[in-house]
Amino acid sequence: MRLRTAARTRARACAVATLTAAALLATGQPANAAPRADTADPMNRAFAEASQEYGVPRDLLAAVGYGESRLNGHAGKPSQANGYGVMHLASNPANRSLEKAAELTGESASRLRRDTTANILGGAAVLRDHADALGLDAAERRDVNAWYPAVARYSAADGPAAALYADAVFTFLAEGVAATVAGGEEVLVPSRPVAPEKGEVSASDVYAQSEDYPSARWVPAHAENFAVGRTATVDKVVIHVTQGSYAGSISWFQNPASQVSAHYVIRSSDGEVTQTVRDKDTAWHARSANASSVGIEHEGWVDEPAWFTDAMYRSSAALTSHLSAKFNIPKDRAHIVGHVEVPGNDHTDPGPHWDWNYYMELIGGDPGNGGDGLTFPLYTTQQSGSSGPQVTAVQTLLTAQKYNPGAVDGQFGPATKSAVEAFQRARSLDADGMVGPKTWTALLSAGTTPLLKQGSSGDAVKRLQRALTAALGKTVGVDGSFGPATDTAVRSYQDTRKLGVDGQVGPATWKALQSGK
């Protein structure tokens, strides 16, 4: 295959003629599968030009891109597996498709990461390279079904994970794709009958069934990406978003360099479930909660709500209900949590588009905020640009303390930041305008300071329980009743803050809480 320079790429792009119906039919695709190469639609044009240059069927190329990214390049931001762009050109120890694309096209790695046209061209070059390595001749390359092994190789996975990847691409070819991308452009892949020539990937038993959850496939993560056994009782489910594709994430868990895994991964399109770590073992997905939780990854990106399909929600809810019964996990938001809610983590998933109320309804559980808008299983950092119920809680608390955050609308804008800064200065906190653990603790505990001890009850106990949740970074049940669990939390707080440890909340403990300690 000839090497292309970036300059030659741009020169050729200007000279690409309209793809004729005869040429399209020669690739084994419907005549309407590809648009005119001179169309004003940039992504359609990119697929047409890359197909023409490297002899990869246009619809196959688009189906690979759709499976990888839903045709969204995410402005050059990397996936979990350090893959970039519409075609997910990756740079990690097991997949060097970004570097291979740079070698084959002459484009820089930087442009391949950020420029969609270059990225699609790079994906086509890598696919063609796999086809050449497999010995596909010109006639075979015109038959989309002959590309199945090359698509499997594009995944950089082996065995079942590679088959999952290629099967997904050929499902998109069979069912068709209609995707609206940036600028309102529509990319179409018409449906057609497919009969992929699977070769060595065709074994009927390539997928094993999960022993823990019979509805799931079993595709094990690499042994270096999880720990055998548990060191704690399983008492929670952690909800994640993959920041990448379903098959790509499963493949990433098979890469020993990743040092990550989850127990289950759920596909967006149809809710298919794959288990990668046994329930009895410790997947590496949530740092401080690894030993005590089951991790469920959901295919998609936190900033794209379209990934969160009803099929995915229902499949995930069924799995979580099963796990709740198996491990006696309460169906509430103190025990079914997002990755972002686990202490010691720096991730934001599942993000603002995850519909917790709907999910908990499907599970048959309790949304867990007690209906007061202030109670959460964990309190996460809120700052400029944040939105959602915890921002509303911040605004409500500030208003109660006579600070003006503007409208109580769940949007963390300039007025809310100014109010936070004023509150922080009054409490001698770092006035950075961000509501982290210290500011949460001070806000949640603000108010009267009655003596509280075991047997106390009422709203002051609820304030205490919320403040302890923020201060300790772990859930303290908010029920307004000062029982043994609250006593334990108070003693833990007093011990870590070097206060007198007596389990009673008197002036010294209230002062520490209201100072954000």
pLDDT digits (tens, 9 = 90+) for 318-331: 999 999 999 999 88
Q: State yes or no: pLDDT of 4 exceeds 80.
A: no
Pairing between β-strand 177-180 and β-strand 186-189 as defined by DSSP bridges? antiparallel
> Which of the listed residues 171, 189, 207 is the one where a domain comes to its end?
189
> Which of the listed residues 308, 333, 364 is the one where a domain comes to its end?
364
* 142 and 234 fall within a common domain: no
Instruction: Tell me what pLDDT residue 303 has.
Output: 86
Q: State yes or no: pLDDT of 17 exceeds 70.
A: no
| pLDDT per residue as tens digits for the range 249-306 | 999 999 998 999 999 999 998 999 999 999 999 999 998 899 999 999 999 998 888 8
Helix, strand or coil, per DSSP, at residue 275 = strand
- Per DSSP, the residues of 306-342 read GGS-HHHHHHHHHHHHHHHHHHT--SBTTTEEEGGGS
8 A C-beta contact, residue 54 and residue 127? yes
In a domain, 371, yes or no: no
Q: State yes or no: pLDDT of 81 exceeds 70.
A: yes
Q: How far apart are CA 46 and CA 59, in angstroms?
A: 12
Name the pLDDT band for 116 (thresholds 50, 70, 90): very high
* 177 and 54 fall within a common domain: yes
* 410 and 450 fall within a common domain: yes
Cα distances from 260 to residues 216, 229, 251, in angstroms, run 20, 16, 11
- Region of poorest pLDDT, from 73-82, 337-346, 347-356: 337-346
Q: How far is CA 221 from the centre of its chain?
A: 18
In a domain, 11, yes or no: no
Q: State yes or no: pLDDT of 29 exceeds 70.
A: no
Q: Average pLDDT of the chain? A: 88
Instruction: Tell me what pLDDT residue 476 has.
Output: 86
Q: How far is CA 56 from the centre of its chain?
A: 30
* 328 and 222 fall within a common domain: yes
* Cis status, amide bond into 305, omega within 30 of 0: no
Which one-letter DSSP state was computed for residue 287?
G
Q: Which residue has the higher pLDDT, 447 or 38?
A: 447
Q: Which residues contact 52 (CB under 8 A, 6 or more apart)?
A: 16, 19, 37
Name the pLDDT band for 31 (thresholds 50, 70, 90): very low
Q: Which residue has the tokens 């590309």?
A: 147
Half-sphere exposure of 163 (CA within 13 A, CB side): 18
* 130 and 62 fall within a common domain: yes
Q: State yes or no: pLDDT of 30 exceeds 50.
A: no
* 222 and 358 fall within a common domain: yes
In a domain, 210, yes or no: no
| pLDDT per residue as tens digits for the range 376-386 | 878 888 999 88
Range 244-251 average pLDDT? 90
Report field, pTM of the whole predicted structure over 0.75: no
Instruction: Tell me what pLDDT residue 38 has.
Output: 46
Q: Report CA dihedral (401, 404, 408, 411) to the nearest 10 degrees.
A: -120
- Provide the domain limits for residue 497: 386-515
* 345 and 251 fall within a common domain: yes
In a domain, 209, yes or no: no
Q: What are phi and psi of 209, to 5 degrees?
A: -90, 145
Q: State yes or no: pLDDT of 12 exceeds 90.
A: no
> Which of the listed residues 364, 397, 416 is the one where a domain comes to its end?
364
Question: Number of structural domains, the chain?
Answer: 3
Q: State yes or no: pLDDT of 2 exceeds 60.
A: no
* 285 and 397 fall within a common domain: no
Instruction: Tell me what pLDDT residue 487 has.
Output: 94
Kindly report the CATH number assigned to the domain that includes residue 163.
1.10.530.10
In a domain, 179, yes or no: yes
8 A C-beta contact, residue 48 and residue 19? yes
Instruction: Tell me what pLDDT residue 367 has.
Output: 61
Name the pLDDT band for 502 (thresholds 50, 70, 90): very high
Q: Which residue has the tokens 């700052």?
A: 383
- Region of poorest pLDDT, from 25-39, 168-182, 293-307: 25-39
- Region of poorest pLDDT, from 26-40, 176-190, 451-465, 497-511: 26-40
Q: Which residues contact 103 (CB under 8 A, 6 or more apart)?
A: 3
Kindly report the CATH number assigned to the domain that includes residue 323.
3.40.80.10
Q: State yes or no: pLDDT of 494 exceeds 60.
A: yes
* 272 and 307 fall within a common domain: yes
Kindly report the CATH number assigned to the domain that includes residue 409.
1.10.101.10
Pairing between β-strand 293-298 and β-strand 236-241 as defined by DSSP bridges? parallel
- Per DSSP, the residues of 67-97 read HHHTT--GGG---TTSEETTTTEE-BTTB-H
In a domain, 3, yes or no: no
Q: How far apart are CA 99 and CA 91, in angstroms?
A: 7
| pLDDT per residue as tens digits for the range 201-244 | 765 456 789 999 999 999 999 999 999 999 999 999 999 999 99
Instruction: Tell me what pLDDT residue 300 has.
Output: 94
Instruction: Tell me what pLDDT residue 322 has.
Output: 96
Instruction: Tell me what pLDDT residue 473 has.
Output: 87
* 151 and 69 fall within a common domain: yes
In a domain, 5, yes or no: no
Q: State yes or no: pLDDT of 369 exceeds 80.
A: no
* 360 and 392 fall within a common domain: no
* 343 and 225 fall within a common domain: yes
Instruction: Tell me what pLDDT residue 7 has.
Output: 36
Q: How far apart are CA 156 and CA 459, in angstroms?
A: 56
In a domain, 37, yes or no: no
Name the pLDDT band for 342 (thresholds 50, 70, 90): confident
Q: Which residues contact 216 (CB under 8 A, 6 or more apart)?
A: 209, 210, 264, 273, 274, 275, 319
